[in-house]
Structure 1
């Protein structure tokens, strides 16, 4: 009787294992027929059974199902799982871990080859959605897959992904990883001057000022005619207290790209900083000519003109003779009227810009008693500013 009972228990146990493994087979069949919801339901149920927990094929199927969910164009299937690709990836790793006979190597490798474009697409989508940390994680998954032993016979060096991982890390302000991937890109001679320029930026942001400067100059030596390197050198010297060096590099940049309005604007700012205001005005006007929609040269030009009038106004206020003062102040008011179009021009290309409005408000107030129109404009601008608060 005991023997019969033992055989019955064995039969029930085998039946249970068979039932759970049939769930795995069912998941595969549903996957083949494109019914991802049913496939997911079957594999999730089947793989929970203790007898399937160490069954390599179950994890292979699970990986395929979840990878299929990621790749599906149908929202109903895509919404079955939030992060199907990571689940698929971990399932494939588990299949390899449990595989004692090497049967999983070939099918897992085939799936991993498809995981590379999947994770690349995921990274691009996250990057475009401004989820830079998520993009970095996806790019790193690509690199992780490509470095697996599965591909040791034909090692993959994906320089595009390495560089893009650096860009995603930079955007995510993960400067250590950005430095790592940009340096790798340089080792593989990928990205040209842009890589040196980006690397110098993240090194500086990370507090590695000395190394940042070294890479700027190394990049410039290798790519002397590249605008990215020139811009980095210009910015470094412009804001680093060596304006003459910045001017030299700006001249080279302008020679290489004479129609680039931003170079003339930068040269104008440099002259402005050095106190060479006539040269600054000339550069700002050239920048505006090349790019009529540029705000900065218009605003900076207006400030120079305005500051000159303000300086003249202060000098006139020192005049003690009433007759001479009355004559001189008329000229000051006339000069202020000449300033207005500069700021109004800046406001046309950037409506509602607060600093421009504040200065116009001040000028209109000064002229309020000269013409009634200026008092009206003063009230209009004041109302506009009050509404911003």
Structure 2
């Protein structure tokens, strides 16, 4: 009797919630009905019943349609509420479909609600693209990612059979995949963003910016394998048309201590484009990693000669000059004071003054180059230049 009473209570909960769903004309009212039916999702008597989930699923699609109708006649409607109703309809619909598909002892598939569920989902397939756009405009990037994911998944779902919409053209699917990846990135869902970029770059998307964004995601994740793979794919596709792709690939090889590969790539790139400062900057980094400071300094000098308006070229060459000064200073540590003073004034001090030009230029070109300011602070201290020392300390906020 107690069991029958419990079952009756749960059925009553579902029935009462069903009435609330039928009267829900706003998403807030729909959410209230969801709260009412939620206990049935975990009760043994109702959690496996397809109708338990299809009631909120069907109501979600109906609410979307009602709000859409109001929008078409000019009423003020929240596009985010519309999108949420659509996503809820889809998610509960899939749960209902799982429960509705039952195979009996003879292997025969029995369904009661599946035809209606599939019809509602596939009939709204194109609406998920509009929902994704609405979520994006409202900066609800996580929901935009979900909507774009559903839009891509519906045509490929074998459970929808002949009712499934036609497969998207490759160009359309790639474009949506790109938006899906960006939405996940904006939502700080980095693993999901990386998975989307994996899909996108594998098919060879033609927009170079996609490869920049993919690399940024891998960089944020500190995923060296993806950084290398994305750089290789980008370089294979675009070659040296964008020097950044080769630079990243070389950096990955340097990180992995595959110096021969990095050297070969840079030598080939320089041979084909000897006036590209980016390649010499990368060559300088490579030579530094190999502890060849003279070659590194020469490479940075060449980089800044070819492109004097690049902040990194100026920073790296200025830094190498500071290191040259430090090495000379250490070597002269045991000199008599009068010899040291003369050597410092004639040989070492000019190197620091030369470094100042490039480090100041680096900061002038890019105010984010605080490394340049830190080097300048030490230089002005050594040069006993109080005015510039105070200026740099103020720029550093000290």
Task: Normalising by structure 2, report the TM-score.
Answer: 0.62
User: What corresponds to 2:318 in structure 1?
Assistant: 302
Residue 107 of structure 1 deviates from its aligned partner by: 8.0
Question: Which residue of 236, 244, 247 corresponds with 2:263?
Answer: 247
User: What corresponds to 1:13 in structure 2?
Assistant: none
Where structure 2 has 5 or more consecutive residues not aligned to the other structure, the ranges are 1-18, 35-53, 98-111
User: What corresponds to 1:77 in structure 2?
Assistant: 77
Say whether 1:350 aligns with 2:366: yes
Which 10-residue stretch deviates more, 195-204 or 325-334?
A: 195-204
Structure number with greater Rg is 1
Correspondences of 1:219-298 after superposition (within 5 Å)? 230-254=246-270, 261-289=277-305, 291-298=307-314
Question: Which residue of 371, 379, 383 corresponds with 2:390?
Answer: 379
Separation in 1, partners of 2:361, 2:219: 39
User: What corresponds to 1:86 in structure 2?
Assistant: 84
Partner deviation per Cα, 1:130-155 (whole Å, 9 max, x = no partner): x6534422321212343452753633
Q: Secondary structure at the match of 1:381?
A: helix
Say whether 1:327 aligns with 2:342: yes
Partner deviation per Cα, 1:242-270 (whole Å, 9 max, x = no partner): 22321211233445666654333222222
Q: Secondary structure at the match of 1:318?
A: coil
Q: Secondary structure at the match of 1:333?
A: helix
User: What corresponds to 1:341 in structure 2?
Assistant: 357
Residue 318 of structure 1 deviates from its aligned partner by: 1.5
Q: Secondary structure at the match of 2:332?
A: helix
Separation in 2, partners of 1:163, 1:151: 26
Residue 77 of structure 1 deviates from its aligned partner by: 3.2
Which 10-residue stretch deviates more, 116-125 or 341-350?
A: 116-125
User: What corresponds to 1:133 in structure 2?
Assistant: 142
Q: Relative to 1, partners in 2 of residues 1:221 and 1:137: Cα closer, same or farther, differing over 3 Å?
A: same
Separation in 1, partners of 2:378, 2:59: 76
User: What corresponds to 2:47 in structure 1?
Assistant: none
Correspondences of 1:35-54 after superposition (within 5 Å)? 40=26
Q: Secondary structure at the match of 1:155?
A: coil
Q: Relative to 1, partners in 2 of residues 1:95 and 1:65: Cα closer, same or farther, differing over 3 Å?
A: farther
Over aligned residues, Cα RMSD in angstroms? 5.1
Separation in 2, partners of 1:71, 1:302: 63
CA contact (8 A) 1:176 1:206 kept: no
CA contact (8 A) 1:147 1:156 kept: no
Separation in 2, partners of 1:240, 1:55: 53
Separation in 1, partners of 2:137, 2:184: 15
Correspondences of 1:155-194 after superposition (within 5 Å)? 155-156=167-168, 158-169=173-184, 174=189, 176-178=191-193, 180-185=195-200, 189-191=203-205
Separation in 2, partners of 1:336, 1:206: 36
CA contact (8 A) 1:64 1:111 kept: no
Separation in 1, partners of 2:368, 2:251: 29
CA contact (8 A) 2:86 2:128 kept: no
CA contact (8 A) 1:59 1:95 kept: no
Separation in 1, partners of 2:383, 2:264: 43
Separation in 1, partners of 2:220, 2:228: 8
CA contact (8 A) 2:80 2:134 kept: no
Q: Relative to 1, partners in 2 of residues 1:377 and 1:154: Cα closer, same or farther, differing over 3 Å?
A: closer
Question: Which residue of 297, 307, 317 corresponds with 2:333?
Answer: 317
CA contact (8 A) 1:66 1:85 kept: no
CA contact (8 A) 2:154 2:164 kept: no
CA contact (8 A) 1:193 1:226 kept: no
CA contact (8 A) 2:128 2:147 kept: no
User: What corresponds to 1:117 in structure 2?
Assistant: 129
